[in-house]
């Protein structure tokens, strides 16, 4: 029988292994392995670190032995070629060869003893000159799931966060990447995850760090020639939460050290949670290896909150502060401050501050006056397109549907209501209105308006819908 190459043997082993381990585990622990050589039934494989070696020997040694025996027969065994990073930019990695065994911990301890790592690891969060203290998680205890309002805009991200918090490192959401534009609640959500993990598992080391702080610490470590202390400190963490990773763009050395930390933690089954102002595919100036790892788990976006979510957020803010405002004031704010949560909070604070200083009750007129710098296009003329959008948002249907030929009851009703308000609130002719609804003629518009008027008189639920939609439209006319 001709000799098989090491690549052929290992590829055949992988086919068996892939059928016997979960997909994520296969990607994490077996895809990075490279076959190096085969001699006398000894297959040498290269793994990224000693921790990788230890994990394979502790969790997959039986599977590895069986697959290798099937390929090479009795007497076959593994040997590991381990890459060791020095942790400094001017030192190349070296390799250590270790035999495969059932005593990986003992082997790893022997291996580690040769690295001469100092027993006292410096804490990069401690300011030089001050008394050294144990670092906490850097989490804000006020940012929890209880005060993170759920809506359609953030439901996936919130659900993924809860899943990770219940089993950090034990789900396929590793890393968990939360991305959105500024002010949408990314930081709140990832800190809520960290706080829940700390609540459920007090022994886990959870660390939250903005990437700019991480970068500054790394620069300081280079200046003090303490790169290895910096690296070792971050490698102790069970859950690493890194905010605003987009600021890693074009910072090659910081990307390299972050890549090393990311790899180490991920290989040990530790949880990584990241935030960014854009999706991983849109990040520029990033090492491809790092970008590929960002895509390993789940990327979930947080979108602009819809009206109902904005309303719920405002009500929650008022409840926490023990204040009350008229319903029409809150609805006005929710309708018009539609960019992000941070601006919503700013608008509410402005209302309360002005009310307190002037000792006036916050009426709708006062709210409009106070918030004129927040509300854009405050005096805009209403348009047919805008009416269509508000009506369709109310019924949760796409605008394109009211312009289509469909005769589904809910679509017909939304179309007729839109025509009703277009005739009532714009100067457009019946023909022009009909053209905005898929080229319908003026008689269709007349029929729609008559139908709406009839239902207002006979259907209580329909009348309530019309009043609410009218309120939302007219609130934007002033």
List, for residues 217-272, the tens digit of each pLDDT value.
999 989 888 888 888 889 889 999 999 999 999 999 999 999 999 999 998 999 99
Q: Are residues 171 and 297 in the same domain?
A: yes
**How many residues are recorded in the chain?**
478
State the chain's mean pLDDT as an integer: 82
Q: Are residues 312 and 297 in the same domain?
A: no
If you average pLDDT over residues 366-390, what whole number do you get? Answer: 73
Query: What was the pLDDT predicted at 258?
Result: 94
Number of domains in the chain: 4
Q: Are residues 295 and 160 in the same domain?
A: yes
pLDDT tens figures, 168-180: 998 889 999 999 9
pLDDT for 108 beyond 80? no
Low-confidence winner among 109-113, 267-271, 338-342, 343-347 (lowest mean pLDDT): 109-113
Task: Report how far apart, in Å, the C-alpha atoms of 406 and of each of 30, 189, 413, 414, 435 are.
Answer: 53, 41, 11, 12, 16
By residue range, what is the domain housing residue 262?
Answer: 156-301
Task: Report how far apart, in Å, the C-alpha atoms of 172 and of each of 270, 272, 319, 377 are.
Answer: 12, 11, 37, 45
Q: What is the pTM of this model?
A: 0.54
Does a structural domain hold residue 292? yes
Q: Are residues 270 and 368 in the same domain?
A: no
Q: Are residues 272 and 243 in the same domain?
A: yes
Q: Are residues 312 and 410 in the same domain?
A: no
The sign of the CA dihedral 317, 319, 320, 323 is positive
Place of tokens 């919130």: 158
Query: What was the pLDDT predicted at 48?
Result: 78
Asked whether the beta carbons of 49 and 85 are under 8 A apart, the reply is: yes
Query: What was the pLDDT predicted at 125?
Result: 65
Asked whether the beta carbons of 195 and 139 are under 8 A apart, the reply is: yes
Pairing of strands 42-47, 77-84: parallel
Query: Residue 343's closest CA among 369, 380, 377, 305?
Result: 305
Low-confidence winner among 82-86, 163-167, 194-198, 272-276 (lowest mean pLDDT): 82-86
Query: What was the pLDDT predicted at 115?
Result: 36
pLDDT for 8 beyond 50? yes
In the numeric block, which tokens belong to residue 295? 């895509």
Q: Are residues 41 and 12 in the same domain?
A: yes
DSSP string computed for 33-101: -EEEEEETTEEEEEES-HHHHHHHHHHSHHHHHHHHHHHH-TT-EEEEEEEE--SSTTS--EEEEEE--
Task: Report how far apart, in Å, the C-alpha atoms of 401 and of each of 200, 416, 447 are.
Answer: 47, 12, 19
Give the DSSP letter of residue 298: E
The sign of the CA dihedral 12, 18, 21, 26 is positive
Asked whether the beta carbons of 351 and 367 are under 8 A apart, the reply is: yes
pLDDT for 128 beyond 70? no
Does a structural domain hold residue 470? yes
The CATH number of the domain where 68 resides is what? 3.30.300.180
pLDDT for 105 beyond 50? no
CA distance 48 to 25: 15
Q: Are residues 187 and 104 in the same domain?
A: no
Q: Are residues 446 and 360 in the same domain?
A: no
Does a structural domain hold residue 132? no
Does a structural domain hold residue 295? yes
Does a structural domain hold residue 131? no
Asked whether the beta carbons of 62 and 20 are under 8 A apart, the reply is: no
Query: What was the pLDDT predicted at 477?
Result: 55
If you average pLDDT over residues 20-33, what whole number do you get? Answer: 81
CA distance 268 to 332: 51
Query: What was the pLDDT predicted at 229?
Result: 85
Does a structural domain hold residue 61? yes
Q: Are residues 323 and 427 in the same domain?
A: no
Query: pLDDT class for 376, splitting at 50, 70, 90?
Result: low
Query: What was the pLDDT predicted at 211?
Result: 94
If you average pLDDT over residues 68-89, what whole number do you get? Answer: 74
Query: pLDDT class for 94, splitting at 50, 70, 90?
Result: very low
Is the bond leading into 175 cis (omega within 30 degrees of zero)? yes
Asked whether the beta carbons of 269 and 238 are under 8 A apart, the reply is: no
Asked whether the beta carbons of 231 and 115 are under 8 A apart, the reply is: no
In the numeric block, which tokens belong to residue 242? 């890194």
CA distance 288 to 135: 32
Asked whether the beta carbons of 188 and 144 are under 8 A apart, the reply is: no
Where is the domain boundary, 261, 285, 301?
301
Where is the domain boundary, 327, 348, 373?
373
CA distance 230 to 224: 10
Low-confidence winner among 210-224, 291-305, 310-324, 346-360 (lowest mean pLDDT): 346-360
Task: Report how far apart, in Å, the C-alpha atoms of 451 and of each of 296, 433, 455 are.
Answer: 54, 16, 6
pLDDT for 64 beyond 70? yes
Phi, psi dihedrals of residue 211, rounded to the nearest 5°? -65, -30
Phi, psi dihedrals of residue 261, rounded to the nearest 5°? -65, -45
Query: What was the pLDDT predicted at 248?
Result: 93
Helices (H), 371-441: 384-395, 399-402, 409-425, 430-435
Q: Are residues 210 and 226 in the same domain?
A: yes
pLDDT tens figures, 434-470: 989 999 988 899 999 999 999 998 888 999 899 889 8
pLDDT tens figures, 207-221: 999 999 999 999 998
Does a structural domain hold residue 406? yes
Residues 315/316/317/322 CA torsion (nearest 10 deg): 90
Where is the domain boundary, 245, 279, 301?
301
* Long-range contacts of the stretch 74-79 (C-beta < 8 A, 24+): 75/41, 76/41, 76/42, 76/43, 77/41, 77/42, 77/43, 78/42, 78/43, 78/44, 78/45, 79/42, 79/43, 79/44, 79/45
Does a structural domain hold residue 171? yes
pLDDT tens figures, 274-306: 999 999 888 988 988 888 889 888 899 998 888
Give the bridge partners for 82, in sequence order. Answer: 47, 96
Q: Are residues 433 and 351 in the same domain?
A: no
Query: What was the pLDDT predicted at 120?
Result: 55
Query: pLDDT class for 56, splitting at 50, 70, 90?
Result: confident
CA neighbours closer than 13 Å in the CB half-sphere of residue 199 = 14
The CATH number of the domain where 453 resides is what? 1.10.1750.10
The CATH number of the domain where 181 resides is what? 3.40.50.300
The CATH number of the domain where 311 resides is what? 1.10.8.60
Query: What was the pLDDT predicted at 29?
Result: 83
Asked whether the beta carbons of 196 and 145 are under 8 A apart, the reply is: yes
Of 125 and 258, the structure prediction assigns the larger pLDDT to: 258
pLDDT for 129 beyond 70? no
Percent of the chain with pLDDT over 70: 83
């Amino acid at each position: 029988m001709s000799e098989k190459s090491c690549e052929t043997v290992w590829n055949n082993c992988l086919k068996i292994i892939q059928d016997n381990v979960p997909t994520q585990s296969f990607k994490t622990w077996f895809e990075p392995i490279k076959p190096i050589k085969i001699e006398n039934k000894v297959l040498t494989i290269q793994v990224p670190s000693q921790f990788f070696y230890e994990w394979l020997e502790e969790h997959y040694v039986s599977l590895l032995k069986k697959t290798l025996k099937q390929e090479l027969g009795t007497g076959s065994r593994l040997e590991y070629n381990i890459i060791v990073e020095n942790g400094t930019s001017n030192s190349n990695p070296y390799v250590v060869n270790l035999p495969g065994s059932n005593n990986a911990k003992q082997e790893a301890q022997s291996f580690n003893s040769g690295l001469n790592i100092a027993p006292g690891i410096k804490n990069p969060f401690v300011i030089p000159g001050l008394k050294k203290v144990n670092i906490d998680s850097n989490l804000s205890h006020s940012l929890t799931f209880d005060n993170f309002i759920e809506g359609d805009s953030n439901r996936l991200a919130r659900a993924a966060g809860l899943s990770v918090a219940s089993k950090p490192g034990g789900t396929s959401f590793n890393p968990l990447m939360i991305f959105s534009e500024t002010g949408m609640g990314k930081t709140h959500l990832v800190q809520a995850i960290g706080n829940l993990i700390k609540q459920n598992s007090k022994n886990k080391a959870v660390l939250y760090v903005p990437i700019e702080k991480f970068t500054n610490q790394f620069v300081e470590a280079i200046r003090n020639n303490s790169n290895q202390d910096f690296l070792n400190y971050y490698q102790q963490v069970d859950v690493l939460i890194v905010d605003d990773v987009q600021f890693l763009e074009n910072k090659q050395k910081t990307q390299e050290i972050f890549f090393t930390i990311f790899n180490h933690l991920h290989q040990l089954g530790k949880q990584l949670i990241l935030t960014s102002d854009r999706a991983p595919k849109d990040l520029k100036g990033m090492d491809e290896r790092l970008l590929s790892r960002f895509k390993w788990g789940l990327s979930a976006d947080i979108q602009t909150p819809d009206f109902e979510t904005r309303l719920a957020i405002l009500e929650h803010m008022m409840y926490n502060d023990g204040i009350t405002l008229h319903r029409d004031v809150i609805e006005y704010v929710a309708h018009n401050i539609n960019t992000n949560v941070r601006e919503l909070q700013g608008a509410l604070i402005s209302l309360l501050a002005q009310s307190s200083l002037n000792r006036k009750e916050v009426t709708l007129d006062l709210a409009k006056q106070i918030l004129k710098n927040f509300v854009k296009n405050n005096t805009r003329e209403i348009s047919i397109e805008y009416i269509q959008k508000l009506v369709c948002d109310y019924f949760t249907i796409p605008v394109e549907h009211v312009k289509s030929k469909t005769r589904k009851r809910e679509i017909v009703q939304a179309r007729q209501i839109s025509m009703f308000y277009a005739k009532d609130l714009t100067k457009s002719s019946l023909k022009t209105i009909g053209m905005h609804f898929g080229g319908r003629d003026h008689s269709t518009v007349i029929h729609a308006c008559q139908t709406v008027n009839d239902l207002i008189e006979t259907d209580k639920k329909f009348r309530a819908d019309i009043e609410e939609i009218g309120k939302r439209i007219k609130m934007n006319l002033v």
